[in-house]
Structure 1
Amino acid sequence: MVKCFKERISRDYTNEHCICPECQAVFARETLVRGTPAYKIIGGKAYMK
């Protein structure tokens, strides 16, 4: 996963945007992708189950 559009997030498990609730590491940054707000995932910081 490289980017995640904000409008497509159905459940947000974080307390603060782009910060892991367990280890407090920043795993993404807010950006615009083709004019739409999104989170750009930092390589190697997030894993998908």
Structure 2
Amino acid sequence: NIMTLIQSAKLNGLDPYAYLSDVLKRLPTHKMKDIEALLPHNWKPA
């Protein structure tokens, strides 16, 4: 759920708004095989 992503982002030292904004923009074109790159502990800002 969305609250899990927000809390996970916080625990990884990320700004939840920046994280979710970026991930939601990338999702439509992101390949499923690379989806783990969008998890909070792997995420790199675009």
Q: TM-score, normalised by structure 2?
A: 0.24
Q: TM-score, normalised by structure 1?
A: 0.24
Give the helix-richer structure, 1 or 2: 2
Give the strand-richer structure, 1 or 2: 1
Greater Cα radius of gyration, structure 1 or 2: 1
